[in-house]
Amino acid sequence: MVSKTEADKIGLDSIMKTKKGSFIKSNGSTCSLLEKGLCSRYPDRPKGCREYPWYNIDGKLYYDVGCPGMKTDEDDRPDVKDIQPFENFFPGLPRLLVRVIKKICTR
């Protein structure tokens, strides 16, 4: 999900607007901003992309173990308070599905 300010920076041609909010378009299951495996709008990427692979799930910090950068990056662990709530990644999704996704992610 992207804010209006983020969408303006990225370019409206790369944004899909719905009743639930604005999102970066995808090419299948891949972000449409990726070019040769790299983000083409890296300096202007939205908050959700900046936070990845970290997730704030009920005040605890989790990360995507499938992220290749987790094996090579030297970045410090962020403060959980600085990462938006996990639910923000699924606006409008039924609560039951969000609970199922949380369960899978925290196993």
CB 6 within 8 A of CB 47: yes
The contacts of residue 99 (CB under 8 Å, 6+ apart) are: none
Q: Give yes or no for residue 106 having a pLDDT over 90.
A: no
Q: For residue 91, what is the DSSP state?
A: T
What pTM does this model have? 0.75
CA distance 94 to 90: 9
Tell me what pLDDT residue 75 has.
67
CA distance 24 to 10: 9
The percent helix, strand, coil of the chain (3-state, each to 5) is: 35, 25, 40
State pLDDT tens for residues 17-40: 988 889 999 988 888 999 988 899
Q: Tell me the two tokens of residue 64.
A: 């995507």
Tell me what pLDDT residue 87 has.
87
- The full set of domain ranges for the chain reads 1-41, 52-107
State pLDDT tens for residues 57-103: 999 998 888 877 776 666 678 889 999 998 888 887 888 998 998 88
